[in-house]
Amino acid sequence: MNKAEMKQAVLAAKRHGGLSWSDIAEAAGLSPEFTCSACLGMNHLEERSATAVAELLGLSTDVADALQTFPDKSWVNTIPTDPLIYRWYEMVNVYGETIKELIHEEFGDGIMSAIDFTMKIDREEDPKGDRVHVTISGKFLPYKSW
C-alpha cells in the first residue's frame, strides 16, 4: 500500500466514522497538525502512533505500515492553484523579504528550519468575523563558516 492509497483509506474511514482530526491526533498522542500531515502522506508516524490511528479508524495493518514509511515529499503545482493554499504562497512572496530582514536583524545570518518545526492552527474569535490564528515555531539555524 503506497502513501496515496493510504491517504484515501484514511480520509474515507474518517468521514465514515465521523471522526475529527483531533480525535485521530489523540489516538496518535500527537498534535492534530502533525497527525493530519502524516495521514495525508507528508510525514511518517512511529509504530505506536500508526497502530493506534489505524485501529481507531478500523483499518488494516497495511495502513499502519504505510503510515510508518518515510515519505517522499512532493507536490504537483509549483505555484499552488487552490485559493486557500495560494493565499499562503502569496504571503510568502509578499512578506518573504520582510521575514528575512527581521530574522537577520534578530538572529544574524541563517534560516528558520522547516524540519525542526511546529505549527498550530486555531480559531480566533472576532466580532468582525472569526480569524484563523496560526503559530509557527522553527529553530534558528545560523550559517556555518569553516
Restricted to residues 100-129, the positions that interact with a second copy (CB under 8 A) are 100-119, 121, 123-124, 126, 128-129
**Of 56 and 111, which has the nearer Cβ to a second copy?**
111
Write the DSSP assignment of 105-118 as a string of letters: HHH-SEEEEEEEEE
What are the cell numbers at 30? 500527537
Ranges within 50-69 binding a second copy (CB under 8 A): none
Torsion of CA 54, 55, 61, 67, to 10 degrees: 20
Under rule CB under 8 A, residue 81 binds a second copy: yes
Please tell me whether residue 26 binds a second copy under the rule CB under 8 A: no
143 binds a second copy (CB under 8 A): yes
How many amino acids of this chain bind a second copy (CB under 8 A)? 88
Q: Which of 5, 12, 61, 73 binds a second copy (CB under 8 A)?
A: 73
Kindly list the catalytic residues. 87, 90, 113
Q: Does 47 bind a second copy (CB under 8 A)?
A: no
Whole-angstrom distance, CA of residue 83 vs CA of residue 76? 15
CA angle at 76 for the pair 10 and 133, rounded to the nearest 5°: 65
Among 16, 59, 90, 127, binds a second copy (CB under 8 A): 90
The answer to whether residue 12 forms part of the interface with a second copy (CB under 8 A) is no
3-state secondary structure of 82: coil
- Please identify, using beta-carbon distances, which residue of 55 and 119 lies nearer to a second copy: 119
Helix axes 3-17, 47-57, angle to 10 degrees: 50
